[in-house]
């Protein structure tokens, strides 16, 4: 059975919220030394990437400003090329990309 786009949007928002909760009050140094938090963050970034992959093209076309390909590509690296993960890039995603993504997804849900 095919899932509705709304459920994928919810998955993305929930994963963003989880990540933000995991790293609350952390700086990069603290994050990079906490394997449990790093694992939890990476798992939720994979969820975001998989949800983005599963969204139908029509849903993604409504929000062309979201870097869908980058999100999907990161999931591939996290899941299949884990040794290539750059923690500075992960931290940049946490600090600079997740809040705008959540805002864009919430706007997309309301279209």
User: pLDDT-derived band of residue 111, with 50, 70 and 90 as boundaries?
Assistant: low
- Nearest C-alpha neighbor of 63 from the set 1, 106, 14: 106
Residue 48 to residue 6: CA distance in whole angstroms: 13
46-71 pLDDT tens trace: 999 999 999 999 999 999 999 999 99
Closest by CA to 87, choosing from 11, 23, 25, is 23
Q: How confident is the model at residue 109 (pLDDT cuts 50, 70, 90)?
A: confident
Residues involved in catalysis: 75, 80
Q: Which residue has the tokens 């139908």?
A: 56
pLDDT band at 3 (very low <50, low <70, confident <90, very high): confident
> Model pTM greater than 0.75?
yes
Residue length of the chain: 111
């Amino acid at each position: 059975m095919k899932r509705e786009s709304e459920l994928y949007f919810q998955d993305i928002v929930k994963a963003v919220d989880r990540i933000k909760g995991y790293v609350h009050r952390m700086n990069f140094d603290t994050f990079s030394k906490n394997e449990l938090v790093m694992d939890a963050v990476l798992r939720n970034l994979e969820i975001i990437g998989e949800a983005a992959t599963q969204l139908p093209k029509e849903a993604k076309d409504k929000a062309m400003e979201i870097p869908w390909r980058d999100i999907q590509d990161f999931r591939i690296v996290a899941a299949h090329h884990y040794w290539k993960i750059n923690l500075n890039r992960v931290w940049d995603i946490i600090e600079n990309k997740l809040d705008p993504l959540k805002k864009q997804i919430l706007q997309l849900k309301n279209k």
